[in-house]
Amino acid sequence: MSLRYISARISQQIDEELMSSIGAFSIDQLMELAGLACAQTLATVYPKRTYPRVLVCCGPGNQGVAWFAMLTTVRLTEVVEGGDGLVAARHLGMFGYTPTVYMPKPGSKDIYQRLAKQCQNMDIPIIPPSNDVEDLKKALASSDVILDAIFGFSFKPPMRAPFDTVLPLLSDSRLPIVSVDIPSGWDVEKGNELGVGLNPNVLLSLTAPKEGSKDFTGRHFLGGRFVPKSLDAKYGLNLPPYPGFEQIVELDSIPKPNTDI
């Protein structure tokens, strides 16, 4: 039985169950483990001696709300996207990297504020919000690798400013890119059909890989070591075993597809 690549709908259902009164996880817990997995993936592929300066790009703070609003069991006020990036930036700082956070459209929610404050307490610079990309250009010129936490699986075109300008700039920088969950600009099910998405070197899928990532050809990791066996079985995920006490597992050797029904 091979690893299942899941649809947007299934992905939403799993997230919903994890955070419902049944799964009992708080967003703080899941985001902490997801962000740690992001940082570990980057650190695994891009050692800090050679790639010390990480530009952590975070998406708009209200991205995730639309579909979450459909879920009655989830705490609506706590939902964020791009928060993974802030948690990852903090852990990368702890690992000895020199991260910089680029977050042009920060969310107003409490959790965003707290995660950003945690970065500031570690002297991690956060580029002030702006529609102007001059600051981004400067940051790219002094970075060694990019962590792409801009769009997650709830991205729908068209791409709004400043991200329509940001994504080509990231690509043109020719810096290596590590994307979180789904490369920014890709459709969660159809992949990079429109051709407006990033082409990352590394992808970290969270919980389970998404259908849209089936054609991804770089190094592919899985994170989110918090899915109970019962949930794995219910959705037929066939999640691979994680090594030792790691929070990530590389999918290279695992046979692909078995598409979503």
Nearer to a copy of itself by Cβ, of 41 and 154: the residue is 41
Q: Is 49 in the site for a copy of itself (CB under 8 A)?
A: no
Alpha-carbon distance of 225 to 8, in angstroms, equals 20
Distance, CA of 106 to CA of 156 (rounded, Å): 18
Q: Rule CB under 8 A: say whether 43 interacts with a copy of itself.
A: yes
Residues 134-163 that bind a copy of itself (CB under 8 A): none
**Residue 210 contacts residue 4 (beta carbons within 8 Å):** no
Indicate whether 51 belongs to the interface with a copy of itself (CB under 8 A). Answer: no
Q: Give one DSSP letter per residue of 177-219, joined into a string.
A: EEEESS-TT-BTTTBSTTS-S---SEEEEESS-BGGGTT--SE
Under the binding rule (CB under 8 A), the answer on residue 118 touching a copy of itself is yes
Residue 17 to residues 10, 24, 105, Cα–Cα distance (Å): 10, 8, 28
Interstrand relation of 98-102 and 53-58 (parallel, antiparallel or unpaired): parallel
* Number of residues located near a copy of itself, criterion CB under 8 A: 37
Q: Is 28 in the site for a copy of itself (CB under 8 A)?
A: yes
* 191-250: contacts with a copy of itself (CB under 8 A): 225-226, 228-231, 241-242, 244-245
Question: What distance in Å separates the CA atoms of residue 192 and residue 246, rounded to the nearest whole number?
Answer: 30
Q: Does 77 bind a copy of itself (CB under 8 A)?
A: no
Which residues of this protein are in contact with a copy of itself, per CB under 8 A?
22-26, 28-29, 32-33, 36, 39-40, 43-44, 90-91, 94-96, 113-115, 117-118, 121-123, 225-226, 228-231, 241-242, 244-245
